């Protein structure tokens, strides 16, 4: 897994730097590379609030763009989908969870893309996401098992979290309208994405044992494929994600997938 993640990261860095090398080598063409650092969709290099919309557009309309970013920050809920049903099958009842406390968090930190027109662009990005399942039952997931397994505990957990973290690499296709009289836009973004498991964790709290944390892969799928959809206005919107691959690389959980939905910040 570490070799695979190193290969993926190296490939992404190569893709990230190619347009810069190309632009430096070929000075006869008008293609430009703009490297921006963004936080929540706002460029931190913008030192003055008096920048006009025209000046901002002159930067945003460059063909090639790449850079470090902190955008597409998603906060929402996660739902398990058991063979096309929100009801868990008998073999997966031990994963019964508190819907209002089962969450999804993600953000992007790198991006590389090409703008075809002022309204349409596509870009490859990379970032991280977490799915945090708040289990109802007093169970503990077992480490180093060939399948997803658990034991019943003689204590009551005030908190029993079962979570996974992925490196995700989406390919985003974005359409944005022209600016309105307030200088804002509507955005629509569709994104197929792949993901690679970084780690998984069990976090529990009891009166008897205090706070406990255990790390393992817990048979979460090492590779994941899914898609995301975002729409919003002025950097704020909503998102929905669905993962087509099984959530766990464990035969009894075949057909168990997950999805997420919520609010997103930093559309740009």
Residues 205-235: tens digit of each pLDDT:
999 999 999 999 999 999 999 999 999 999 8
Q: How far is CA 16 from CA 20, 34, 44, 66, in A?
A: 8, 12, 20, 7
Helices (H) and strands (E) in the chain, counts: 2, 14
What is the DSSP track for 229-248? EEEEETTEEEEEEEE-S-SB
What is the DSSP track for 98-128? -GGG-EEEEEEEEEEEEESSSSEEEEEEEEE
CA atoms of 40 and 33, how far apart (whole Å) = 21
- pLDDT digit of tens for each residue in the chain (268 aa)? 544 454 444 444 444 444 444 444 443 344 444 444 455 444 433 344 445 455 555 556 678 999 999 999 999 999 999 999 999 999 999 999 999 999 999 999 999 999 999 999 999 999 999 999 999 999 999 999 999 999 999 999 999 999 999 999 999 999 999 999 989 999 999 999 999 999 999 999 999 999 999 999 999 999 999 999 999 999 899 999 999 999 999 999 999 999 999 999 998 7
> If residue 55 lies in a helix (H) or strand (E), which one and from where to where?
helix 53-60
CA atoms of 37 and 68, how far apart (whole Å) = 5
- Say what the pLDDT of residue 60 is: 64
Q: How far is CA 24 from CA 21, 45, 228, in A?
A: 5, 22, 34
| pLDDT tens profile 23-52 | 444 433 444 444 444 554 444 333 444 454
Closest CA to 108 of 189, 177, 17: 189
């Amino acid at each position: 897994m570490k070799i695979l993640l190193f290969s993926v990261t190296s490939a992404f860095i190569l893709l990230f730097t190619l347009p810069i090398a190309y632009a430096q080598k070929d000075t006869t063409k008008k293609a430009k590379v703009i490297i921006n650092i963004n936080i929540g969709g706002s460029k931190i290099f913008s030192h003055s609030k008096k920048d006009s919309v025209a000046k901002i557009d002159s930067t945003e309309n460059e063909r090639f763009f790449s850079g470090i970013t902190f955008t597409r920050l998603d906060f929402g809920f996660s739902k398990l989908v058991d063979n096309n049903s929100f009801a868990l099958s008998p073999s997966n009842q031990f994963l019964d969870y508190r819907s209002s406390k089962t969450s999804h968090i993600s953000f992007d930190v790198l991006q590389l893309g090409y703008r075809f027109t002022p309204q349409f662009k596509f870009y490859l990005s990379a970032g991280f996401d977490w799915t945090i399942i708040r289990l109802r039952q007093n169970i503990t997931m077992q480490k180093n098992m060939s399948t997803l397994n658990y034991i019943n505990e003689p204590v009551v957990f005030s908190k029993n979290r079962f979570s996974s973290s992925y490196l995700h690499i989406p390919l985003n296709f974005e359409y944005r309208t022209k600016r309105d009289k307030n200088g804002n836009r509507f955005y629509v973004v569709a994104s197929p994405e792949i993901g690679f498991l970084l780690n998984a964790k069990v976090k529990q709290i009891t009166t008897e044992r205090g706070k406990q944390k255990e790390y393992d892969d817990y048979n979460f799928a090492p590779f994941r494929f899914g898609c995301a959809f975002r729409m919003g206005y002025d950097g704020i919107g909503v998102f929905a994600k669905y993962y087509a691959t099984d959530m766990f690389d464990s035969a009894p959980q075949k057909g168990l997938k997950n999805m997420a939905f919520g609010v997103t910040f930093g559309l740009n």
